[in-house]
Amino acid sequence: MRLFDMVKLKCLLNKIIALLTNSYTQRFLRIGGLLMLVIITLNCISDYRSWEHIPDRNIFAEITALGNCSDSSYCNFRINIDAVGKHRDSKDSACCNYVEIGNHPIETRNIVIPDSFSRILIPIFQANEEYVANMNSFYVLRYECGTTMPAKLPRKSEEDSLKPHYNNFTFSYASIPQWKEYDTEKIAYGYGLFAFEDTCGIGNLQFCSNLFNKTPQMNSKWDITQSNVSLNLVCNNIRCDTISVEFFGATHFSEMYPRPDYINVSRIEFTDSTKIKEIISKGLRFHVEFVQLKEMAATRTIILTSVLSLALSLLGSIIYKYFSA
């Protein structure tokens, strides 16, 4: 029985050898190898071109004070752009930005809720009537965070909102982020509400930017070492005291106008009221370079260059042998 198996195995090997030495088989293998090298070469060139793309990160946020509000109330914008993957294990990566609100119900004035906010507020009030009945000061946030980085949009959530939070003095509500595309830009958008009773207090309204907080990888289809950042912030009936932008890693900032009041290794901050009014009026745009990602970028360039050189060498060798024959 064992001898019979050995004979069958030998016959099979002979057939394989005959097939490989067949001229048609060799021609097929040469053509297949040639096509594979062409595909590898084209993919390498495509990756090189995609790495030239400098992504834009665009943030629009509008905070509006409604109801019984005071001129003493204020807000602070805290923009956190995790471009280096520092918070890749964070459970709160989808809501890394927030607006800090300080409510002071002294010498308040009543601001009538305009019709443009009715679509947002009325459903919230109806669903949470028992909680908002005693609230007097309302702060509404609307936001859009977009990026031109290649990204697959998340599935649309069947739920409409995150769980509301309520205590005896405050009520907060945040919508589930929704997604849309505009030309090459992918945008996350949504809204939130923070309400106070007749009391002083501080609250935070978070908003999403996880599309442009994608952790950079070796195969990321954009220039991971730099980015353009645009801020468009709006404050209605409320004073803005601080605007800060954090990148969580060593960052070089371009010149910008107005100049930040504070700059450290990864963050810029504006506290001067004149500069903040300028930003709210005209927006802010600047360029950043991520120092700690340059090594990753250099490594992937070396790997891709080596693969491309090998593919071109083999491709040239095959073409030379074909024409010389």
Q: Is 276 inside a domain boundary?
A: yes
Number of domains in the chain: 1
Q: What is the mean pLDDT of the chain?
A: 81
pLDDT over threshold 70, residue 161:
no
Query: Tokens 């095959």 appear where?
Result: 318
Cα 18–chain centre separation: 56
> What is the pLDDT confidence band of residue 300, given thresholds at 50, 70 and 90?
very high
* Cα–Cα separations (whole angstroms), residue 88 to 147, 153, 298: 18, 18, 22
* Residues 244-291: tens digit of each pLDDT: 999 888 999 999 999 999 999 999 999 999 999 999 999 999 999 999
Q: Is 106 inside a domain boundary?
A: yes
Query: Tokens 């993957």 appear where?
Result: 85
Phi, psi torsion values for 117, nearest 5 degrees: -100, -5
Q: Is 1 inside a domain boundary?
A: no
SS3 266: coil
- pTM exceeds 0.85: no
Q: Is 289 inside a domain boundary?
A: yes
% of the chain at pLDDT higher than 70 = 77
Q: Is 315 inside a domain boundary?
A: no
The whole domain housing 229 covers 56-293
pLDDT over threshold 50, residue 94:
no
% of the chain at pLDDT higher than 90 = 31
Q: Is 231 inside a domain boundary?
A: yes
Q: Is 205 inside a domain boundary?
A: yes
Q: Is 129 inside a domain boundary?
A: yes
- Provide DSSP, 11-63: HHHHHHHHHHHSHHHHHHHHHHHHHHHHHHHHHHHHHHHHTT---EEEEEEEE
* Residues 202-257: tens digit of each pLDDT: 888 888 766 666 778 888 889 999 999 999 999 998 999 999 999 888 999 999 99
> What is the pLDDT confidence band of residue 89, given thresholds at 50, 70 and 90?
low
Cα 149–chain centre separation: 8
CB 137 within 8 A of CB 195: yes
